[in-house]
């Protein structure tokens, strides 16, 4: 492993509670450039909360989040996205009344996307359709031209990813892109994540499906009740006794 990789995201002593429930408890971690960090944990362990805190959708009670040297805490979500820290939503958020490719006009219209637009900046429709093809929308089957409300979940998850890609992101935070998908949909989604990784994208994958995460993540961070219980290479993390107990139960079977 390269020793001198740049730290892109630094989460430092973040706390967040909702009423009496502690969602995130003094969490710290770092994300290095070009790595795929898997965040796993049982339901309610604070995975989505930490995504919301990094991307500005929630304010932490205490603690800070940095992107390179910029402080993200306190910034509005759109500012965070403008810096290149993008996210997908676990519960997909398409614009149902628009066609799939028109959904991407919104991010392509943003300041950030326009900075990167270059010579084809004026033709956002064409860029949008190219982006959709990149995430696996079949151009020939006219899938990009269907209304978003008519698309199955598998495509909506891809649309979420395409929305991030439209912004030429520095970091993509995927909030459970595999959840709710059938086995065959997952099988076709995995190469996509793999492709992103090969291109050198920096990803945080929040999941509770272990098998998929194992094949793509360089490093895992395991959470339980808002506390980080383990961090490290996948094999090494799975050896950890606490992880087995918290996440897999007493008996393990793969």
Q: Is 102 in the site for another protein (CB under 8 A)?
A: yes
Among 9, 35, 58, 87, contact with another protein (rule: CB under 8 A): 87
Strand pairing of 7-18 and 62-67?
antiparallel
CB of 142 to another protein, least distance (A): 8
Contacts of 186 (CB under 8 A, 6+ apart): 178, 209, 212
The dihedrals phi and psi of 202, each to the nearest 5 degrees, come to -100, 125
Interface with another protein, residue 96, by CB under 8 A: yes
As to burial, measured by CB atoms within 10 angstroms (0-12 exposed, 13-18 middle, 19+ buried), residue 3 is: exposed
Q: Is residue 145 at the binding interface for another protein, with CB under 8 A as the rule?
A: yes
| One-letter-per-residue 3-state SS of 142-168 | CHHHCEHHHCCHHHHHHHHHHHHHHCC
Q: Residue 217: in which H helix or E strand, if any? A: none
Site membership for another protein, residue 89 (CB under 8 A): yes
H/E run at residue 121: none
Q: Exactly one of 48, 73, 86, 224 binds another protein (CB under 8 A); which one?
A: 86
Considering the rule CB under 8 A, would residue 76 count as an interface residue with another protein?
A: yes
216 binds another protein (CB under 8 A): no
Pull the structure tokens for residue 80.
Answer: 């965070």
Return the residue of 15, 110, 179, 218 that touches another protein, per CB under 8 A. 110
Q: Which is nearer to another protein, 186 or 203 (CB)?
A: 203
Total Cβ atoms within 10 A of residue 101: 26
Of residues 9, 39, 75, 113, which one binds another protein by CB under 8 A? Answer: 113
Residues near another protein (CB under 8 A): 55, 57, 76-78, 81-82, 86-87, 89, 93-99, 102-103, 105-113, 124, 142, 145, 163, 166-167
């Amino acid at each position: 492993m390269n020793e001198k990789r740049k730290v892109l995201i630094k989460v430092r002593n973040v706390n967040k509670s909702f009423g009496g429930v502690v969602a995130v408890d003094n969490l710290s971690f770092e994300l290095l450039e070009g790595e795929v960090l898997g965040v796993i944990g049982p339901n309610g362990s604070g995975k989505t909360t930490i995504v919301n805190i990094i991307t500005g959708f929630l304010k932490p009670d205490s603690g800070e989040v940095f992107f390179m040297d910029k402080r993200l805490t306190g910034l509005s979500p759109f500012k965070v996205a403008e810096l290149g820290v993008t996210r997908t939503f676990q519960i997909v958020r398409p614009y149902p009344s628009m066609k799939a490719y028109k959904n991407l006009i919104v991010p392509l219209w943003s300041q950030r996307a326009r900075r990167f637009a270059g010579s084809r900046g004026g033709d956002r429709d064409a860029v949008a359709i190219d982006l959709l093809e990149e995430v696996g929308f079949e151009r020939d089957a006219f899938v990009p031209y269907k209304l978003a409300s008519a698309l199955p979940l598998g495509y909506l998850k891809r649309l979420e990813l395409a929305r991030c890609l439209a912004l030429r992101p520095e970091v993509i935070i995927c909030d459970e892109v595999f959840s709710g998908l059938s086995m065959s949909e997952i099988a076709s989604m995995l190469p996509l994540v793999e492709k992103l990784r090969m291109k050198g994208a920096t990803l945080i994958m929040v999941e509770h499906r272990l098998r998929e995460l194992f094949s793509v993540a360089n490093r895992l961070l395991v959470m339980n009740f808002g506390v980080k219980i383990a961090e490290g290479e996948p094999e090494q993390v799975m050896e950890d006794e606490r992880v087995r107990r918290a996440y897999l139960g007493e008996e393990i079977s793969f």
